[in-house]
Chains A and B, each alone.
Chain A
Amino acid sequence: MTDLAVELRNVTKVFVDRSSLGRDLTAVEQINLSVAAGEFFTLLGPSGCGKTTTLRMIAGFEAATRGEILIQGRAMTRVPPNRRPVNTVFQNYALFPHLTVAENVAFGLVVKRVPRAERKRRAEEALELVRLSGMGRRRPSQLSGGQQQRVALARALINQPAVLLLDEPLGALDLKLRKEMQFELKRLQRQVGITFIYVTHDQEEALIMSDRIAVMERGRVLQVGDPMAVYEWPSARFVADFVGETNFLSVVFVSFLNDLAVVDLCGVNAYAQIRGEPLTSGQPTTVTIRPEKVVLTKLNQDGHFKLAGTLEDIVYLGTDTRYVVRLTSGETLVARIQNTSERGLGGDYDIGERVNVSWSPKDARVLTS
């Protein structure tokens, strides 16, 4: 077993409302997580799902109401933030405006009574690591958002924490810069080998950077897994819906066929993967299929099976085209097809046209929760 950097055992956080309303809020409920040393671990979920609260409990800014947090095997319950082997990169960077960039970066070293000359040298090294050499004498206010972000990173990394906590650090940057920083952060994490725990509501960001993702909803962890597992094998409807775009179709289970399920979709037998869920014949359930895995064909061409429908909407998106098909069952299905010249760059179909849709049996999943 690999070394665990952070472990959460049955962690619950209740915010007690002291006002007369007395509406207590359970922000985090019974969370169990294990983060391995050197891992890039992401807490992903919509706002209010408890991901930031979880991060703040690891940092020590909030105390867990119940349960236990361990960092490098040591219980952290009574350890204040300043004595935990973690550092945080805050959402708004939280750079000290009254200090220069170099003084900001060396802030933690002053606490550790590192001599001035060494402080200076290490601050320069840290700035070099985040590609900000020579910026040390400026004020944070003289830097761009992306540069401030890097200063915040350098200020945290200089202390060589066991774990770096990042709270939506790219949220305030514009799209292009954010894309750049995603790869930059990933590079940095590999270079320094520190465990990163990253909080974001951006599923694409989570997929790009993470070794593993924990998908959270309403204070609970729904699924933990590597990006491919979370995207391809969502354990719950919420996960499938939140991570990427997907279709949900109401079906009736018919029978098992090896590792596939045969389901009835408006009188047509369709196929989907299934993992051990106990289903009996005639039981209604849900099938999910990603839009990019839907096969769209002109009427009456060959496929694994055929569902008929009418094209309701066609949107050209550059890399691909998004088709909305109204099935005979009344449900809609979204298909996204790569725009190649072979497929007429998406212009082969017209709105109102009757089409067939199908998919490869291995690309659809039966969802029971």
Chain B
Amino acid sequence: MGRRDLLSPGFFYFALLALLLYAPILLLIVFSFNDSRTLVFPLKGFTLQWYTELWGARELLEAVVNSLVLGVLASAVATILGTMAAIGIARFNFPGRNLFLAVSAMPMVIPYVVLGVALLILFAQLGIPLSLWTVGVGHVVINIPYVMLIVASRLAGFNPSLEEAAMDLGETYWGTLRRVTLPMCAPAILSAFLSSFTTSFDEFAVSFFLIGSESTLPIYLYSQLRFPSRLPLIVTLAAIIMVASMALVIFSEWLRRVGQTTTAAGEA
């Protein structure tokens, strides 16, 4: 990049965007090492106190574990159901296909708050007590359409004659699914799982309505904002989560690209 490019309007635009996006994250990380309970400049000094205190915050850690378990289970279920739906939509022409597609994509356009209230009413009517399980059901519902879209776009991107070829070579339908369709969708399926996990991990609105006595991380964090003294702990936890989820996003994007190059090559 030459000196000229640094002065161009395009570069300023980019720099402004990057600043707005990343400066808060950077501040978060900086303050997590700051030796003060208030988040103001100038910085007081370097400390690892918040990280050690975090380790002892039992309730908070419980919320983290809840969110991790919930995220993994809900995403796994959503990934399995969403993948099945994607295969159905991409490969079979059945009556009511469009209706099925529309219905299963609904959660994408319904505001989460509305969805949360609706599910709350449903569970109340059915007499199901609220718990992490009900939150899990909510998260599965939220994630299915995204999984479906990610996997279906992969299925649409590869030639159906690959599956015909497998059957032509003697494989049964299930054998074809196991040896061709699923391996070729594997990067997309994993990437769908990871994106479900991230959604589930920081989901607040639906969780807020459906949660029982336990807490997920976002709900716990929100409840702690009333106590200013605990702010540095929250900042520290946020910093850790930020770094971890960045790593996850980069990994899943890398997976998606690996998947794309293998397809492109196969159909060249």
Residues in A with CB closer than 8 Å to B183 are 98
Given contacts A90-B161, A141-B268, are A98 and B262 in contact (CB under 8 A)? yes
Q: In whole angstroms, what is the CA distance A95 to B165 when docked?
A: 8
Check A111 against B171 for contact (C-beta < 8 Å): yes
Q: A92-B161, A96-B266, A98-B184 are in contact. Are A59 and B168 (CB under 8 A)?
A: yes
Residue of B nearest to A155 (CB): B169
- B264 nearest CB neighbor, chain A only: A141
A106's nearest neighbour on chain B, judged by CB, is B169
Within 8 A of B (CB), among A71-117: 80-83, 86-88, 90-92, 94-98, 107-108, 110-112
Let me know if A107 and B161 touch, CB within 8 A: no
The answer, yes or no, to whether A140 is at the interface (CB within 8 Å) is yes
A-B contact count (CB 8 A): 79
Cβ of B93: which chain A residues have Cβ within 8 Å of it?
A: 18
Q: Is A159 in the interface zone, CB < 8 Å from B? A: yes
B45 within 8 A of A: no
Among B93, B164, B175, residue most surrounded by chain A Cβ atoms (within 10 Å): B164
CA distance A80 to B170 in the complex (A): 9
With both chains docked as a complex, state the minimum distance between the C-beta of A152 and any C-beta of chain B, in angstroms. Answer: 8
**B184 close to A97 (CB less than 8 A):** yes
Closest to B261 in A: A141
CB–CB A88/B266 < 8 A: no
A140 to B265, alpha carbons, bound, how many Å? 8
Cβ–Cβ < 8 Å partners of A111 in chain B: 169-171, 175
Most buried by B among A81, A82, A94: A94
**In the bound complex, CA of A242 to CA of B263 (Å):** 37
Among B162, B170, B175, B180, chain A packs the most CB atoms within 10 A around the CB of: B170
Chain B: residues with CB nearer than 8 A to chain A? 93, 158-159, 161-162, 164-172, 175, 179-180, 183-184, 262-268
Leading 10 A-B pairs by shortest Cβ distance:
A97-B266, A141-B265, A108-B169, A111-B170, A94-B165, A94-B161, A81-B167, A88-B168, A82-B167, A97-B262
Q: A87-B168, A88-B164, A156-B169 are in contact. List 6 more A-B contacts (CB 8 A).
A: A59-B164, A61-B168, A97-B184, A97-B267, A141-B266, A156-B168
| 9 A-B contacts (beta carbon < 8 Å) | A61-B168, A83-B170, A94-B162, A95-B165, A97-B266, A98-B183, A107-B166, A108-B169, A141-B266
